[in-house]
Amino acid sequence: MREPEPTPADQWSGWETEPKPPAYWPGLGNEQRQGGLEIDRKVTKAVAGKLVGLATDADMDGTFERHGSLEAIPNLHWRLPGDLGRLLQSAGALTRLVWSDLHAEVGMAGLLIERASARYDLVESPRLGDIPLSELAARMPGEGPLGRAGQPSHLYPKGSDPLELAKGTDYGVGDMTAAKAVHDFSFSTFWLYGNVPAYFDAMAASLVELANTLPLRAQDLRDAPWHGEAADMAQGALRQIHGNVTSLAATAGTLNAAAERYKEIVYWCSANFEKAVDPHRGGWDEFWDLGGTADSRTRSFLGEANNAFTDIYQMMPKRISLDLPGLLVNDDMTAGLRSNIDRLVDFPELSAANREWLADNKPLLRTYEKAEQTYG
């Protein structure tokens, strides 16, 4: 009897939400042959084409459209579900950006390996070099990775954005009244219309498939054969990309569970609020049956749900991170960023916005320079 195949959830649940390259990778370490370059150019080019295909065939925009859109959160008096919903909404946009960066990086790895299969100077100059982003974009139809803008996200190649509620904010229900709750529950679902959590689920499943495929292509490169310093560099880049793929899969899977639980709580509250709280029952009737006031019943009802929303926040990742090789970085991008930084640094006085821009982009320039130094 055959063992059942592991589901995507079985796999991503064992991965970390922070990028971490796998311990083993085909074609690295003891598997990297000594004694210089060895390459079957025809087979290596074919494998490279498959890597490009992993990026160009991707269609998360289509998946996003099939499962609805992230609706705007209304201004609720009940603060926790409102802020938590906005946090999940922000996570949806962030994961989409990182997903695009990952697939673009895989595509660029394929283009660089494809070009390497046609080069004869890899012994003297083993670095992979640059390919303009426009060449990658030309291989990607419609709104594929990088979209129309043709540029990586603000997190690329190494950065993170927090997914945290505001510190010092009172997320209790002590100021809630029946009237406020009636207003809030007029927005029957607060957020997540239709099947939106399935967006995170579809993203996690697609990333699990990508994570399973990348080592197979690395094995194909090793068996082509392709060995030498340039091959080692390419394999190391694929290994680092893989660590980011598994981390985003784990992040998307966890966010899917959080979004599903969010929906469950909101639906339960919407279905039971009027019956449990009876917010329109007023006057002395509330005291004759020892039921307390409508406001006290509201706070009691919302308090229990508030604890469940807090549990959702605890289960969510607290940031979305990216740590990629930087294969999309080229001389023009680095020179342009360096020029903009130098121009601002020379100003005698800077606005707060410019100071913030410099603080963000000086570290980015260092990552660009490191990528250029490593890969050429």
The string of pLDDT tens digits covering residues 38-79 is 899 999 999 999 999 998 877 665 655 554 455 567 788 999
pLDDT at 231 over 50: yes
Work out the average pLDDT over 166-193. Answer: 84
Q: How far apart are CA 330 and CA 328, in angstroms?
A: 6
Distances (CA, A) of 373 to 23, 237, 337: 24, 14, 16
Rg of the chain on CA atoms, in Å: 26
Work out the average pLDDT over 150-159. Answer: 89
- Cβ(98)–Cβ(156) under 8 Å? no
Residue 31 makes CB contacts below 8 A (sequence gap 6+) with: 222
Q: How far apart are CA 208 and CA 6, in angstroms?
A: 11
- Cβ(52)–Cβ(145) under 8 Å? no
Q: How far apart are CA 55 and CA 144, in angstroms?
A: 8
Distances (CA, A) of 141 to 58, 87, 179, 245: 10, 31, 51, 22
Which residue stretches of the chain are H helix?
8-12, 41-56, 60-66, 79-116, 133-138, 178-184, 197-223, 229-277, 285-288, 294-315, 331-345, 352-375
Q: How far apart are CA 7 and CA 5, in angstroms?
A: 6
Q: What per-residue confidence (pLDDT) applies to 340?
A: 86
- Cβ(109)–Cβ(327) under 8 Å? yes
Residue 352 makes CB contacts below 8 A (sequence gap 6+) with: none
CA atoms within 13 A on the CB side of 343: 8
Instruction: Give the count of beta carbons closer than 10 Å to the beta carbon of residue 362.
Output: 12
Q: How far apart are CA 265 and CA 274, in angstroms?
A: 15
pLDDT class of 270 with cuts at 50, 70, 90: confident
Work out the average pLDDT over 271-299. Answer: 78
**Considering the entire predicted model, what is its pTM?**
0.91
Q: How far apart are CA 143 and CA 133, in angstroms?
A: 15
pLDDT at 194 over 50: no
Work out the average pLDDT over 331-342. Answer: 89
Where do we find the tokens 């990552």?
367
- Cβ(259)–Cβ(317) under 8 Å? no
CA-based end-to-end distance of the chain: 51
